[in-house]
Amino acid sequence: MIDDIGARAKAAARQLATTSSAKKSAALRAMAAAVDLDRARILAANDRDMAAGADEGISDALMDRLLLNDGRIDGIVSGLNKVADLPDPVGVHTGGWKLYNGVRVQRTRVPLGVVAVIYEARPNVTADAGGLCVKAGNAAILRGSSYAYSSNAAIGEVMRQALEREGLNPDAVQIFPDTTRDGARALMQAKGYVDLLVPRGGPGLIAAIEAEATVPFVIDGAGNCHVYVDAEADLEKAAAITFNSKVQRPGVCNAAETLVVHAAVADKFLPGIAIQLMEAGVELRGDEKARNLVGDMKQAVEEDWGTEYHDLIMSVKVVDSLDEAIEHVRTYGTGHTEAIVTEDYSAAQQFVEEIDSAVTMVNASTRFTDGEEFGFGAEIGISTQKLHVRGPMGLEALTTERYILYGDGQIR
Amino acid sequence: MIDDIGARAKAAARQLATTSSAKKSAALRAMAAAVDLDRARILAANDRDMAAGADEGISDALMDRLLLNDGRIDGIVSGLNKVADLPDPVGVHTGGWKLYNGVRVQRTRVPLGVVAVIYEARPNVTADAGGLCVKAGNAAILRGSSYAYSSNAAIGEVMRQALEREGLNPDAVQIFPDTTRDGARALMQAKGYVDLLVPRGGPGLIAAIEAEATVPFVIDGAGNCHVYVDAEADLEKAAAITFNSKVQRPGVCNAAETLVVHAAVADKFLPGIAIQLMEAGVELRGDEKARNLVGDMKQAVEEDWGTEYHDLIMSVKVVDSLDEAIEHVRTYGTGHTEAIVTEDYSAAQQFVEEIDSAVTMVNASTRFTDGEEFGFGAEIGISTQKLHVRGPMGLEALTTERYILYGDGQIR
């Protein structure tokens, strides 16, 4: 099965690679219109998934992720139209020069080819990911959760019909039919077919890919993000940034998990922010020095410093110096995002120089590590690896580069 | 052992990441001077490797690769000095913009951290690879062949002493002591320590890495390169490019393996180039049409089209159209380098559009796919993968990027 799907994807990718920007955008808009028009069919398929989910007694949270309604369909439609409007990353010349012998070198951005996406229960990812892949000139193989299979199949079929009406190969979007673990593994190991595997899921999926994938992948890994409040911090900014980084959306990877506070301002800063956080439902787990300043703080254990809570929990550490703060972050951080709050120029510079995370921030919330916030228009994920792409991934992450050399008979 | 070496490398990498360009260049020059001055010690160590190799009865070719002499030491010295002179890839701002809310985004090039290199018998790779890693701000773990261990250890020791004299952590260059297969595997799986693994070796090493590595790697894969002589080719240029691509250095990955000729010029072109190639010792293996034009050409079998000979052998195919040529290249190519020879503008454009190799050439020898030729000053290898870096790899391939955001209290 993987051979058939892989070969179809390669054929579609070959066509898409030389399809004009205008035609790709038109296809995206046609997909959006088709999802809009065929929403009854998609919602009916979603009803079947929801009914099956209810029969199986899946959790309310999972049921909510699974659910499609008119509002969510509207979101899919506007998402596809927005991607249609984004600038095409393909065909951009990213460099060029003349060699000593007159040969002209041109470096140009091209699609990767076939992109596989493995994701969990949200059916909107089918349209989002499929749209982004097509926009960047890639064929998509989409493998969602078994719980969402009817919804995904319906969305996929609607997108494929739109592609066909636009004169494009419908295999540019394929829904992978095997939603078992074996199916996921087949996709992870589809060497020769899959040029990039993008996982959109939790630590279990990431671990499986790291252990089993033989195709190239980008990892959207854990974010154990830190906010460091320096001795010279503006404490109002520090409170706003700490609160926002922790509370605005605690379940995402760019939320802060640890607050590190310089001892010089701990007594002025910690009691106030602790009340604010606790009133917002945040459980605080601190070291001895922090607990001496805030009464009802739990004792942090070693494990806390390395934990991405994904929840309204925050560990709190008091340090005696910027160096100690940097050391703590380097020891326990996951290389995602760290922020310093300070008015001290040299402290800010030292922090951004010595912390080697995908993103370091001075006086800004960790929540800004995000493709939309960065202005990429859309986000495929946030890479915590160092190869290929790092930090928020926009359309460019779905492309590669190649060289074209123009000569006139030159030889070595 | 890997834990100790890995931790030392990480510590050295941390220092190097914030070491100035001037200091890194000075260290490279100090290493060059030390190799120059301590050449007797390095040559004595090499004598031991050569004597052991002779005792084991290794091949003349391997003995030659293993050998160091004054000329080769001179090459190492000038290589290190040349890398010292290259522009520092680290610290370059590769992008920057202001967000809607006033936060300034800065994208900057930084070292990868720890780079491991697994290579074969040539001891000069120890200095080359170590020098390139240090120049790009990375700590190097170098694991060469057991045959060259004494030579590598001596070169490494000399480099480490030079680093120390320059006030840098000598662990920026470490020779990995375990030259067994288990040692290689330990390095391939040193997750958390190795940020990039660079293999410099043959298909066996590449296959082992693809199967066993859990650390990120770049593959310098096979080059089944094609020269296509179009119906509208200038046949003089075609002959020069074909001959140069095949004969100038047949054992390397950018040498051509298959000659594809349009039927419209086959009778004018093939007999002449066949004589030239055969006089240079090239064995030709052709399809029926080619053999009808050149008498003493062997019959090509299916396997020939997919083979990287690395030798004075060339397969020859006659096609009836540009489309058929593109189809042949896409079916059997390895995505390394392909050249078209033509004076037809549209044919050239179609070829470079539809062939998705790391490098496509118009009217130039495939031998130009090379870091030195590209003007990178040095080459770590030629990537045939699509992620991270593609085509000739210079110093930039040993770096990654990260973001720094400067705010003034912004929150979401």
pLDDT tens-digit series, residues A17-38:
999 999 999 999 999 999 999 9
Give the closest residue to A171 by CA, choosing from A114, A216, A125: A114
The pLDDT of residue A121 is 82
Residues of B in contact with A405 (CB under 8 A): 359-362, 364, 368
CB contact under 8 A, A364 and B406: yes
Whether pLDDT at B18 is above 90: yes
Residue A124's identity, in one-letter code, is N
Non-local CB neighbours of A307 within 8 Å, separated by 6+ positions: A224, A257, A315
> Does A367 lie at the interface with B, CB-CB under 8 angstroms?
yes
Distance in Å, alpha carbon of B92 to nearest chain A alpha carbon: 13
- Nearest-Å Rg of the Cα atoms of chain B is 24
The pLDDT of residue A207 is 87
Name the A residues in 1-40 with CB < 8 Å from any B CB. Answer: 14, 17-18
Give the closest residue to B221 by CA, choosing from B339, B388, B391, B371: B391
Distance in Å, alpha carbon of A295 to nearest chain B alpha carbon: 28
Task: Determine the Cα–Cα distance for residues B370 and B353; give it in Å rounded to an integer.
Answer: 21
Report pTM. 0.93
Give the closest residue to A176 by CA, choosing from A165, A167, A188: A188
Give A323's pLDDT tier (boundaries 50, 70, 90): very high
Residue in chain A closest to B215 (alpha carbons) equals A210
Longest dimension (CA), chain B: 80
Residues of B in contact with A390 (CB under 8 A): 400-403
Between chain A and chain B, the number of residue pairs with CB atoms below 8 A apart is 189
> Does B400 lie at the interface with A, CB-CB under 8 angstroms?
yes
Residue in chain A closest to B16 (alpha carbons) equals A354
The pLDDT of residue B120 is 86
For A216, the closest of B113, B375, B387 (CB atoms) is B387
> Does A110 lie at the interface with B, CB-CB under 8 angstroms?
yes
> Does B263 lie at the interface with A, CB-CB under 8 angstroms?
no
The pLDDT of residue A19 is 97
> Does A375 lie at the interface with B, CB-CB under 8 angstroms?
yes
> Do B173 and B163 contact (CB within 8 A), yes or no?
yes
CB contact under 8 A, B362 and A405: yes
- Name which of A245-249, A348-352, B22-26, B60-64 the model is least confident about: B60-64
For B365, the closest of A110, A210, A412 (CB atoms) is A412
- In terms of C-beta distances under 8 Å and separation of at least 24 residues, what long-range contacts does A71-79 make, across chains too? A72/A124, A73/A35, A73/A36, A73/A39, A73/A42, A73/A43, A75/A124, A76/A32, A76/A35, A76/A124, A76/A127, A76/A128, A76/A155, A77/A32, A77/A33, A77/A35, A77/A36, A78/A32, A79/A124, A79/A127, A79/A128, A79/A131, A79/A378
> Does B376 lie at the interface with A, CB-CB under 8 angstroms?
no
pLDDT tens string B162-204: 999 999 999 999 999 999 999 999 999 999 999 999 998 888 8
Residue in chain A closest to B242 (alpha carbons) equals A411
> Do A184 and A143 contact (CB within 8 A), yes or no?
yes
> Do B286 and B274 contact (CB within 8 A), yes or no?
no
What is the rounded average pLDDT of the residues B90-118?
Answer: 97
> Does A357 lie at the interface with B, CB-CB under 8 angstroms?
yes
The pLDDT of residue B83 is 96
> Does B255 lie at the interface with A, CB-CB under 8 angstroms?
no
Whether pLDDT at A404 is above 90: yes
What is the rounded average pLDDT of the residues B347-356?
Answer: 97
Q: Spell out the domains of chain A, with CATH numbers in brackets.
A: 2-219+390-406 (3.40.605.10), 225-370 (3.40.309.10)
> Does A216 lie at the interface with B, CB-CB under 8 angstroms?
yes
Give A380's pLDDT tier (boundaries 50, 70, 90): confident
Task: Determine the Cα–Cα distance for residues A108 and B361; give it in Å rounded to an integer.
Answer: 13
The pLDDT of residue A296 is 86
Task: Determine the Cα–Cα distance for residues A374 and A380; give it in Å rounded to an integer.
Answer: 13
Query: How would you class A67 by CB atoms within 10 Å of its CB: exposed for 0-12, middle for 13-18, buried for 19 or more?
Result: middle
Question: What is the DSSP secondary structure assignment for residue B318, as one 8-state letter?
Answer: E
Non-local CB neighbours of A339 within 8 Å, separated by 6+ positions: A225, A226, A227, A228, A241, A245, A256, A360, A361, A362, A363, A364, A365, A366
CB contact under 8 A, A356 and B403: no
> Does B356 lie at the interface with A, CB-CB under 8 angstroms?
yes
Non-local CB neighbours of B388 within 8 Å, separated by 6+ positions: A387, A388, B216, B218, B397
Residue in chain B closest to A355 (alpha carbons) equals B14
User: Within 13 A of A347's CA, how many CA atoms are on the CB side?
Assistant: 21
pLDDT tens string A276-315: 999 999 999 999 999 999 988 999 999 999 999 999 999 9
- For residues B145-162, b (16+ Cβ closer than 10 Å) or e, as one string? bebbbbbbbbbbbbbbeb
> Does A244 lie at the interface with B, CB-CB under 8 angstroms?
yes
For B358, the closest of A356, A388, A402 (CB atoms) is A402
For B195, the closest of A14, A386, A401 (CB atoms) is A386
Task: Determine the Cα–Cα distance for residues A84 and A74; give it in Å rounded to an integer.
Answer: 15
The pLDDT of residue A379 is 86
Residue B161's identity, in one-letter code, is Q
> Do B173 and B129 contact (CB within 8 A), yes or no?
no
Q: Given strand A196-200, what is the order of strands in its sheet?
A: A173-175, A139-143, A114-119, A196-200
Give Cα separations from A247 to A277, A281, A309, A367, B101 (angstroms). 8, 9, 12, 10, 20
Whether pLDDT at B210 is above 90: no
> Does B323 lie at the interface with A, CB-CB under 8 angstroms?
no
pLDDT tens string B239-290: 999 999 999 999 899 999 999 999 999 999 999 999 999 999 999 999 999 9
CB contact under 8 A, A403 and B18: no
Non-local CB neighbours of B286 within 8 Å, separated by 6+ positions: B294, B297, B298, B299, B300, B315, B316, B317, B318
Task: Determine the Cα–Cα distance for residues B228 and B344; give it in Å rounded to an integer.
Answer: 13
The pLDDT of residue B202 is 81
3-class SS at B351? helix
> Do A183 and A202 contact (CB within 8 A), yes or no?
no
Pairing of strands A283-286, A298-299: parallel
The pLDDT of residue A176 is 97
> Does A376 lie at the interface with B, CB-CB under 8 angstroms?
no
Whether pLDDT at A353 is above 90: yes
> Does A354 lie at the interface with B, CB-CB under 8 angstroms?
yes
Task: Determine the Cα–Cα distance for residues B227 and B322; give it in Å rounded to an integer.
Answer: 12
Distance in Å, alpha carbon of B67 to nearest chain A alpha carbon: 27
For B363, the closest of A364, A375, A408 (CB atoms) is A408
Distance in Å, alpha carbon of A276 to nearest chain B alpha carbon: 16
Residue B178's identity, in one-letter code, is D
- Supply the mean pLDDT for chain B: 96
The pLDDT of residue B113 is 97
3-class SS at B299? strand
> Does A295 lie at the interface with B, CB-CB under 8 angstroms?
no
- For residues A183-208, b (16+ Cβ closer than 10 Å) or e, as one string? bbbbbbebeebbbbbbbbbeeebbeb
pLDDT tens string B72-92: 999 999 999 999 999 999 999
Residue in chain B closest to A335 (alpha carbons) equals B402
> Does B206 lie at the interface with A, CB-CB under 8 angstroms?
no
Task: Determine the Cα–Cα distance for residues A310 and A328; give it in Å rounded to an integer.
Answer: 20
For B386, the closest of A14, A100, A112 (CB atoms) is A112
For A105, the closest of B99, B195, B374 (CB atoms) is B374
For A388, the closest of B352, B356, B387 (CB atoms) is B387
CB contact under 8 A, A390 and B401: yes
- In terms of C-beta distances under 8 Å and separation of at least 24 residues, what long-range contacts does A345-351 make, across chains too? A347/A230, A347/A231, A347/A232, A347/A322, A350/A322, A350/A326, A351/A228, A351/A230, A351/A322, A351/A325, A351/A326
CB contact under 8 A, B402 and A357: yes
Greater pLDDT, A214 or A30: A30
Give B121's pLDDT tier (boundaries 50, 70, 90): confident
CB contact under 8 A, B406 and A216: no
